[in-house]
Chain A
Amino acid sequence: MKRVGSSRGAPKATGNPSKKCLLKLYVAGASPKSLAAFANLKRICEAHMPGEYEIEIIDLLESPQLAKGDQILAVPTLVRRLPEPIRKIIGDLSDTERVLVGLNLKAGTA
């Protein structure tokens, strides 16, 4: 179902659980957009909140039933479950500024 571990890699260390950012990246297969999104996400997270995030990758082609829960229409979609409120960022995350705004990180890191 969930392909969680493979991409969690290096930044796994969780410094402060309360501040931890829970991210879900919905993709449909290993398309160029999916790969680009994952690469961009990892880069942004490493740069702005090292050690304070967890990424879960969900391939909808493998587990299509999960699309309904998070109201996924577009892929790739990045869903930030925690901290509240839920935020959704769609696209290949190539626009770093907008991703940071979307993750509410822009204000904090500036």
Chain B
Amino acid sequence: MAKKSTPKSTAVIGSLAKCPTGIRGLDEITGGGLPRGRPSLVCGNAGCGKTILGMEFLVHGARDFGEPGVFMSFEEGTEELEKNFASLGVDLQQMVKGGQLSIDYVHIERSEIEETGEYDLDGLFVRLGYAIDSIGAKRVVLDTIEALFTGFTNTAILRAELRRLFRWLKEKGVTAVITGERGDRMLTRHGLEEYVADCVILLDLRVDQQVATRRLRVVKYRGTTHGTDEYPFLIDERGISILPITSLGLDHAVSHKRVSSGIARLDTMLGGQGYYRGSVVLVSGTAGSGKSSLAARFVEAACERGEQCLYFAFEESPQQIVRNMASIGCDLGRWQQKGLLHFHASRPSLYGLEMHLATLHKQVALLKPQIVVIDPISNLTAVGTGNEAKSMLTRLIDFLKTEQISTLMTDLTHAGNSIESSSEEISSLVDSWICLRDIEHQGERNRGLHILKSRGMPHSNQVREFLMSDKGMDLMDVYIGPAGMVTGSARLTQEALERANAVSSQQQAQRQQRDYERRRALLEANIAAMRLEFETTTQDMHEVLAQDAERVAMLEQGREQLARSRKADAKPAAAAAGAKAPAKKRQ
């Protein structure tokens, strides 16, 4: 495994001093660079990038680490080199003038040379020594020293001299890169690996399904650990970049901030706040299920917040995307003009996966967006094998996560496959996975959306209907009835039915209420009538009692008058008991 180190200065691991190459990725693989003060061998077939690697080693050394270098070319002339590297943005002439670089073109013309007797290669030593001393070089590249074998026939002398040369380079204390052509059974055609034993790097250019991929492998590196895998690399206008998977660890910072998906209802489903910033969202679905639309809305929402977005389109041209999204109320063209949204469209088959990865890298590094959309990733398998695509996406995801970029990838699920199978098998790498699917029911297709997973947040387990119209997009509840899930027209019917039901039940309740009120009023009327009757009766009763008492009194009075008139001798003791007392009183 590659050790992660900071190759900013001479990295010392253990006792072995290293000389950083400054080439992206190579220092990670080698744990800091090439062995300092020793020669390293870079071998490979024609056209696999040996010269560029060598020259970059010198250019970075001179520019970034303050170590001038000597480039001894046995193949290309100085002018050719200058032209070639101008296309990589390196002005060799300027560097030579500035004393940072010395280029010595060694031209060997076999036809001019006649060998007579003993000789040695002191001339080469003198030239190299002079070049090194004149600019105080710390780095040397010999490209390709095997050309000597074509110039001189006496290989015994040549081999002895090469051995001496490498020993001499070590004594000089320069870090040297020696390039060599790949041999049939050996690493190099003339067995240079015998002499340069400290570090051997093998470059390779393989064509697979008409797509060429460059690969680099550290064959050996004495006295240090190094990445042993074959690492894909590429050469673009910025030179070599090697993209080792293992150079990116799982130790990137995470954010607790959230970022809206652009659809309020979807945010609600995602724990109320949307995705995590810096997370990777996979939107998978069958053809026409609305993946790109979801992506477009995500981008639009981000632009509305003023964030930079980068949209990698592998299927449609930017113009087509803008036109199509406008039809669902998503005006991407506006943001494109404002410079917040950038499209990068290319056919997946345009170049190899590694080149795609590098392009993504480069664009992201250039624009530093907050949001990246890749639409779709499923097309990438067309270029490489499934494994390669997965490896590429792994590295891409690692990279984007390290940069804290929120990423949305769409993935076309093929009909027949399980809806939960993503073609690139990257489901374990993504943080949120949104599944779009077609729901066919009663002669129509509708779109369903559900969240398959969303790490680190409570998310809805419900299937929602995904609606798109010229007003935009929204999510609706679906109805789950005895006949299954109901969407589209059936849902509308269901809704109408429910509305009707609601109205009728409301009416019924009102009727009932009126009924009760009537009965209550009736009862109240009854109560009033009875009370009236009660009062009348009470009054009658009092009247009767009063009349009664009056009558008794009048009777008593009458009897007394009668007694008096009859001159009753005795007290009318025999008079009725009831009448006695009042009689006495009155006496």
The number of inter-chain residue pairs (CB within 8 angstroms) is 98
Listed stretches A1-9, A13-21, A95-103; interface member: A95-103
Q: B114 and A73: CB pair below 8 A?
A: no
Q: Considering the complex, give the chain B residue whose CB is closest to the CB of A102.
A: B114
Q: Considering the complex, give the chain B residue whose CB is closest to the CB of A86.
A: B112
- The verdict on A75 contacting B116 (CB below 8 Å), with A64-B130, A67-B130, A68-B104 known, is no
Pick the contact of B114 from A26, A67, A87, A94 — CB < 8 Å? A87
Q: Bound complex: CA of A102 vs CA of B114, how far in Å?
A: 6
At the interface, yes or no: B579 with Cβ under 8 Å from chain A? no
Which of the listed residues B107, B114, B130 has the most CB atoms from chain A within 10 Å of its own CB?
B114
What residues of chain B lie closer than 8 Å to A71, measured between beta carbons?
106-109
Q: A90 and B122: CB pair below 8 A?
A: no
Q: A102 and B116: CB pair below 8 A?
A: yes
At the interface, yes or no: A49 with Cβ under 8 Å from chain B? no
At the interface, yes or no: A54 with Cβ under 8 Å from chain B? no
Q: A95 and B106: CB pair below 8 A?
A: no
- The verdict on A93 contacting B151 (CB below 8 Å), with A60-B123, A67-B130 known, is no
- The verdict on A91 contacting B127 (CB below 8 Å), with A73-B121, A74-B152 known, is no
Q: Indicate with 1 or 0, residue by residue over B91-128, a CB within 8 angstroms of chain A CB atoms.
A: 00000000000001011110011111111111111110
- The verdict on A67 contacting B127 (CB below 8 Å), with A28-B122, A73-B148, A74-B152 known, is yes
Nearest chain A CB to B484 CB, angstrom units:
85
What residues of chain A lie closer than 8 Å to B386, measured between beta carbons?
none
Pick the contact of B119 from A33, A65, A86, A87 — CB < 8 Å? A33
Q: Bound complex: CA of A71 vs CA of B108, how far in Å?
A: 7
Q: B127 and A74: CB pair below 8 A?
A: no
Pick the contact of A64 from B108, B118, B126 — CB < 8 Å? B126
Q: B122 and A60: CB pair below 8 A?
A: yes
Nearest chain A CB to B373 CB, angstrom units:
56
Q: Bound complex: CA of A86 vs CA of B113, how far in Å?
A: 10
At the interface, yes or no: B173 with Cβ under 8 Å from chain A? no
What residues of chain A lie closer than 8 Å to B272, measured between beta carbons?
none
- The verdict on A94 contacting B123 (CB below 8 Å), with A68-B104, A71-B108 known, is no
At the interface, yes or no: A88 with Cβ under 8 Å from chain B? yes
At the interface, yes or no: A52 with Cβ under 8 Å from chain B? no
Q: B106 and A73: CB pair below 8 A?
A: yes
- The verdict on A92 contacting B117 (CB below 8 Å), with A67-B130, A71-B106 known, is yes
Q: Bound complex: CA of A60 vs CA of B151, how far in Å?
A: 20
What residues of chain A lie closer than 8 Å to B115, measured between beta carbons?
89-91, 98
- The verdict on A92 contacting B116 (CB below 8 Å), with A64-B126, A72-B127, A74-B152 known, is yes
Pick the contact of A89 from B116, B127, B130, B152 — CB < 8 Å? B116
- The verdict on A95 contacting B127 (CB below 8 Å), with A74-B152, A75-B122 known, is no
Q: Bound complex: CA of A92 vs CA of B130, how far in Å?
A: 24
Question: Which residues of A line the B interface, CB within 8 A?
Answer: 26, 28, 33, 36, 60-61, 64-65, 67-68, 71-77, 85-95, 98-99, 101-102
Question: Which residues of B line the A interface, CB within 8 A?
Answer: 104, 106-109, 112-127, 129-130, 148, 151-152
Q: 26 A-B pairs, CB-CB below 8 angstroms?
A: A26-B123, A33-B120, A60-B126, A61-B126, A64-B126, A67-B123, A71-B107, A73-B151, A74-B119, A74-B122, A74-B152, A75-B119, A75-B120, A85-B112, A86-B112, A87-B112, A89-B114, A89-B115, A90-B113, A91-B118, A92-B117, A94-B117, A94-B118, A95-B116, A98-B114, A101-B114
Closest 9 CB pairs of A and B: A102-B114, A64-B130, A94-B117, A91-B117, A28-B122, A72-B123, A92-B117, A91-B116, A95-B116
- Sample of 18 further A-B pairs with CB below 8 A, known A36-B117, A73-B127, A74-B120: A33-B119, A60-B122, A61-B126, A64-B129, A64-B130, A65-B130, A67-B126, A68-B104, A72-B127, A73-B121, A73-B123, A75-B121, A90-B152, A91-B119, A92-B118, A92-B119, A94-B116, A94-B117
